[in-house]
Amino acid sequence: MFKKSLLAGIVLSLGLSTAVQAGEYPSKAITIVVPSKAGGSTDRTARLFTELAEKNYEGFEFVIKHIPGSGGQKGFEAIARAKADGYTIGLNFTPQLVAHIVSKRAKYTLDSFHVMGNVAQDPGIVAVPKDSKIMNMVDLAAAAKAGSLTVAVNGIGSDDFLAAKSFEAAAGVEFNLLPTKGSTEQKAGVLGGHVDAAFMNLSQMIKQHKAGDARIISLLTEERDSHLPEMATSKEQGFDVQMRATRGFVAPAGIDAAIQGQLDDMLTAIMASDEFKANAAKGNIFLLPQSGADYLAYLKGLQADTQAVYDKAPW
């Protein structure tokens, strides 16, 4: 590892100092910015990585820095602003990363980052109370046409909100949208029967669905999901609505290519390991490994889709 990066540094011939810098990398702990609270799913995703990275790569040490709040915006900005010396990288999550750009609140663009790759995902779902008459997406569209349905989404501009808006457009209906503060309120609303339906994420409801406390009526992904294989996607049910939350690694743009390459390779190698997969399954984290290039393409597409929703109904 040492030799390889030293060599890469010289080949790039960006001067002696760079070569030395690359050769000595890392000379101190690398900070990983987690733009949410300690103990949350993004934090757990970061820890999955650092645990194996510190174990398998000698000399690498990581410090996790939490910058919670404002839907990740503070944290994303901190990553974009950080010195591009390879000692600060961070996690991002979608669609908030692009939603802040679209709503013109962010002080960054996608170009501010080097996208390292995606790690985890959480498929969008639609859930209804357990004794609801709505059994599938066709029922949902019909019920929404017959009378106003109260539908909970986790805040304006969230993945749930975008998915609900997308379904409204696809089915030609309009919901009585109920924005909540966090998925906990959504869960309480569905389990207590205070709302007619909720657009949420799979990890938040899968146990309640299996226990019979609530009912998931569709997945909002391209294909079915191995965690709930019997569940039909919305697309199969006639409504092409797709939404998933993703969580991946990004770095500030402009890091020395040798150093960045080293970090990118490390991420790819760790995500491919069986130990990583086992730990993720235990921690209720759904993996979706994606290379930096693929993930960047996904982010660009998502930004365009989000822009379309924002142009119709800005928030």
Partner 1 sequence: MFEYIQIVFSFEALLTIAIGTVAGVAIGGMPGLTATMAVGLLVPFTYTMDPTMGLMLLGGIYCGAMYGGSIPAILLNTPGTPAAVATAIEGYPMSKQGRGALALKVSVTASFVGGTFSVMILLLFAPFLARQALAFGPAETFLLALMGLAGIVSIADENSSLIKALIAGLIGMIIAVIGTDDMSGSLRYTMGMIELIDGIDFMPALIGLFSMIQMLELAGAHSHAIDTSLIDKQNKREPMPKGISKHIALGSGTGTLIGILPGEGATIAAFISYNFSKRISKVRELFGKGNPEGIAAAEAGNNGCVGGSLVPTLTLGIPGNSVAAALMGAFIIHGMIPGPELFNEYADRTYPFIISMFVANGVFLIVGLTFAPYLARIALIPPAIMVPVVSAFAVLGSYALNNAVFDVYMMIGFALGGLVLKKLGFSLEALILGLILGPIAEGGFTQGMIIGHGSPMIFFESSIAKVMWVIIGVLLIPPLYSYLKSKRT
Site for partner 1 in 93-152 (CB under 8 A): 103, 105, 107, 148, 150
Amino acid at 47: R
The tokens of 42 are what? 């993004």
**Between residues 55 and 300, which has the closer beta carbon with respect to partner 1?**
55
Among the listed ranges 84-92, 165-173, 209-217, 253-261, the one in contact with partner 1 (CB under 8 A) is 209-217
Q: What mask of x and - would describe binding to partner 1 in positions 7 to 36, judged by CB under 8 A?
A: ------------------------------
Judged by CB under 8 A, does residue 273 bind partner 1?
no
Q: How far apart are CA 68 and CA 78, in angstroms?
A: 11
Using DSSP, state whether 184 is helix, strand or coil. Answer: helix
Count of residues in contact with partner 1, rule CB under 8 A: 52
Cis peptide before 95 (omega within 30 of 0): yes
Instruction: Report long-range pairs for 12-17 (Cβ below 8 Å, ≥24 apart).
Output: 12/256, 12/257, 12/258, 14/256
Helices (H), 172-273: 183-191, 202-211, 257-272
Q: Is residue 44 at the binding interface for partner 1, with CB under 8 A as the rule?
A: yes
Segment 233 to 272, residues that bind partner 1, using CB under 8 A: none
Select the residue interacting with partner 1 from 170, 173, 191, 253 (CB under 8 A).
191
Taking CB under 8 A as the rule, does residue 81 contact partner 1?
Answer: no
Coil, strand, or helix at residue 17?
helix
3-state SS of 93-114 is EECHHHHHHHCCCCCCCHHHEE
Say whether residue 47 binds partner 1 (CB under 8 A): yes
The residue among 71 and 95 lying less far from partner 1, judged by its C-beta, is: 71
Among 10, 82, 84, 177, binds partner 1 (CB under 8 A): 177
Q: Which is nearer to partner 1, 39 or 254 (CB)?
A: 39
Please give the sequence-ordered ranges of beta strands (E in DSSP) within 8-155, or none if there are none.
30-34, 62-66, 88-94, 113-129, 150-153
CB of 287 to partner 1, least distance (A): 15
According to DSSP, the β-strands at 197-201 and 113-129 are: antiparallel
DSSP states along 33-66: EESS-TTSHHHHHHHHHHHHHHHHSTT--EEEEE
Residue selected from 29, 207, 232, 265 as contacting partner 1 according to rule CB under 8 A: 207
- Residue 301 sits in the site that holds partner 1 (CB under 8 A): no
Q: Report the residue number, 28 or 81, with the smaller CB distance to partner 1.
A: 81
Tell me: does residue 215 bind partner 1 (CB under 8 A): no
Name which of residues 51 to 70 contact partner 1 (CB under 8 A): 51, 64-70
> What is the rounded distance in angstroms from the CA atom of residue 196 to the CA atom of residue 211?
19
Shorter beta-carbon distance to partner 1: residue 225 or 264: 225
User: Residue with structure tokens 């235990």?
Assistant: 282
The 10 Å CB-count burial string (b at 16+, else e) for 237-254 is bebebbbbbbbbbbbbbe
Which range, of 87-95, 166-174, 177-185, 292-300, touches partner 1 by CB under 8 A?
177-185
- The residue type of 298 is Y
Span near partner 1 by CB under 8 A; candidates 108-116, 136-144, 210-218, 296-304 = 210-218
Element (H, E) at 19: helix 16-24
Which residues would be at the binding site for partner 1 (CB under 8 A)?
A: 37-40, 43-44, 47, 51, 64-71, 73-74, 77, 103, 105, 107, 148, 150, 155-157, 176-181, 184-185, 187-189, 191-195, 207-208, 210-211, 213, 282-284, 315
